Structure 1
């Protein structure tokens, strides 16, 4: 999933929301890093995100020299794109301890970032375009990237904040402009989101996991839904809120109202419900109605916590059977990956760090009549045929290996070519 939100008056946003470790600890911090072509131009690329640099960009100032960057200031400071892994992947990576999945997820997020940046743009305001919504693509951004691995309710949830500053550099004009994220947001809903899931699904398959497409993009096939639900406390809260809202007001809550539910703290949640109830029914709700409706709100961070404590919370949310299931799933995937690598090596696919050998297969494995036929051929023709046969076997090995990793297309194509070749040979004999 990729969600987008605007950040207005972003000074202090980093310390309150982004650097707080996985949303749960006040005393531990998550270190973000700067990325993007504009980050390089500002001397930030690859560096740790500091509050000073983050707050400077929030108010349209150079992070090192303090000078004004784009000509006009804006109330919008940042655009926060959040890229999330499917729940089943998060559970296996974080609860099952499969670091391979976490690395694969991070690599796929890097690809998604590059695609998002390619759609960065600025508004065109000059001449006939004054006051219009015309834009020019720049493909240039500066973003603070923060990696988190938990929801506020401590559910395992791999997600990355790509916090794009409201800033882009236009190479043609040699100027800074406000970032126009319209194209980025539009493409993230379909194409970029789809590519992210396809990349991650392919990586999971290569690591030995079996997958299944669903509304979230895909899921790990061998994980039961009940395990995902046990690790999705915030999703359960949201579903129950929608049910309460529908029963109380006679209509489903809008997406905006659900966002309020997710973000509101207790005081704001109480006030919002009382105001809604009074507008809808012309009277104030009773204390019982308030207490029955407002049962969830955005919790504060813990004063102290550790990763071990969070792991214990997650551990107790699963039954013994569910915990065993997750561990077994990881072991099965690791075993499949090892078997796939062994098959690949046995079928002539040489690792990248080894030279490719074109030694032809042993003549003793060939059919007798074929060996007799080769004796009558010139040595040059025999060697040529042997090289062709070695290449064919190598390609066949590649196709089989890809098929074992969930990509049967190349194997099918090879089989189709083989059948066509045999048919052509039969026709010539006729």
Structure 2
């Protein structure tokens, strides 16, 4: 999945959202790196993202010289493209500890960035095009890449923020201009997204995992859907919110309202509910209704945990049966040869040959993967493991306080041992 969000202003976005995972302790932080042809021109490509450089680009200044870049001010500071792995891949990589999947994911994200960068453009403002929506592709951008590995509910959720600065270099006029991400966003929901799924699926197959298609996406067949549900507490909360919203307002929430629910804290969620309820019914909601509606807000970051505790908590949530199955599946696949990262057949040439202007007309080819005889024993072993697994019900979403108590109890048990 690839989602896109505009970052207006952006003060504190790096320190509060990007440098910190959704859990952290003293000394732990996520280090991002600069990507892009425009980043190379600015002298920062490949370097770790420093707060000073991030703030300089946010303020439309050169990160090294401090000089003004774009001729015009802009309300939008960054465009955040979030590239997420399928849940089953996140489980095998993070909870199952298969670091090879992290390497594969990073490789595919880097290719995804390069494809998105190829659609970077500026708005044409000269001559007859002054007030039009005509675009000109520049093909260069600068972005800060930050990889995170959990959701706010501490479930495994492997995803990378590609935070594009509102900046691109116009070669024909030798100047910096505002980035127009329209085609980038369109392709992120189309051809680029499909290319990411197919390439990551191909990499998983190279690592020995058997996959199955789910719409445009895919999943690892060795990870039961019941296991995904156990480690998808935020999804459970979202579906419960949709039911509550429909019961109260008589209609399902739209995509924007669901995104607001996912991102808002308790105070913001309460204010929004009061406002929309009053607008709908002409009266304020009573306290009982308000409390029943606002119960699955987005918790603050977990300041009392660390990577080891979160990993242990995820494994405890699975239970003994699921945990043994997960460990055996990862162990079986690790016997395969170390991955050699190569593009999916015909995939790279297709993306590069198609001009950006064709937009959604781009199509990705479906690779034909031949199963080798060497995989037969592994696949059969995985099938035997899946047989007879007890079906477990999905955990309901848990607010921050319960998670903290779980971590505390887990630490106590570990010390007693």
When normalised by structure 2's length, the TM-score is 0.80
CA distance in 2, matches of 1:319, 1:127: 66
Give the corresponding residue for 1:344.
none
After superposition, residues 273-352 of structure 1 pair within 5 angstroms as 273-335=273-335, 337=336
1:404 offset after TM fit, Å? 1.3
- 1:318–1:404 distance in 2 versus 1, CA, 3 Å: same
Q: Is the 8 A contact 2:116 2:188 kept in 1?
A: yes
1:64 offset after TM fit, Å? 1.2
1:216 offset after TM fit, Å? 6.2
Give the corresponding residue for 2:119.
119
CA distance in 1, matches of 2:44, 2:12: 19
1:406 offset after TM fit, Å? 11
Give the corresponding residue for 1:147.
147
Give the corresponding residue for 2:372.
404
- 1:331–1:289 distance in 2 versus 1, CA, 3 Å: same
Give the corresponding residue for 2:100.
100
- 1:53–1:406 distance in 2 versus 1, CA, 3 Å: farther
Q: Is the 8 A contact 2:24 2:307 kept in 1?
A: no
Give the corresponding residue for 1:162.
162
CA distance in 1, matches of 2:197, 2:330: 20
Unaligned runs of 5+ in 1: 342-400, 408-430
Q: Is the 8 A contact 1:117 1:141 kept in 2?
A: yes
After superposition, residues 125-140 of structure 1 pair within 5 angstroms as 125-140=125-140
Give the corresponding residue for 2:256.
256
Q: Is the 8 A contact 2:25 2:306 kept in 1?
A: no
- 1:9–1:147 distance in 2 versus 1, CA, 3 Å: same
Per-residue displacement from partner, 1:195-247 (whole Å, max 9, x unpaired)?
A: 00000001111111000000360000121111001111111110000011011
- 1:317–1:247 distance in 2 versus 1, CA, 3 Å: same
Q: Is the 8 A contact 2:207 2:333 kept in 1?
A: yes
SS in 1 for 2:214: coil
Q: Is the 8 A contact 1:340 1:405 kept in 2?
A: no
Larger radius of gyration: 1
Q: Which moved more, 1:40-49 or 1:215-224?
A: 215-224
Give the corresponding residue for 2:178.
178
- Kindly report structure 1 stretches of 4+ aligned residues shifted beyond 6 Å: none
After superposition, residues 25-64 of structure 1 pair within 5 angstroms as 25=24, 27=26, 28-64=28-64
CA distance in 2, matches of 1:147, 1:340: 20
1:302 offset after TM fit, Å? 2.3
- 1:239–1:157 distance in 2 versus 1, CA, 3 Å: same
Unaligned runs of 5+ in 2: 341-368, 376-417
Number of residues of Structure 1 aligned to a counterpart in Structure 2: 347
CA distance in 1, matches of 2:226, 2:194: 26
SS in 2 for 1:7: strand
- 1:289–1:200 distance in 2 versus 1, CA, 3 Å: same
When normalised by structure 1's length, the TM-score is 0.78
CA distance in 2, matches of 1:306, 1:338: 32
After superposition, residues 380-391 of structure 1 pair within 5 angstroms as none
1:69 offset after TM fit, Å? 0.3
Per-residue displacement from partner, 1:50-103 (whole Å, max 9, x unpaired)?
A: 111101101111111111101111010000000000000000011111111111
Give the corresponding residue for 1:414.
none
- 1:204–1:151 distance in 2 versus 1, CA, 3 Å: same
Q: Is the 8 A contact 1:109 1:196 kept in 2?
A: yes
Q: Is the 8 A contact 2:100 2:339 kept in 1?
A: no
- 1:216–1:284 distance in 2 versus 1, CA, 3 Å: farther
CA distance in 1, matches of 2:172, 2:43: 20
1:23 offset after TM fit, Å? 1.8
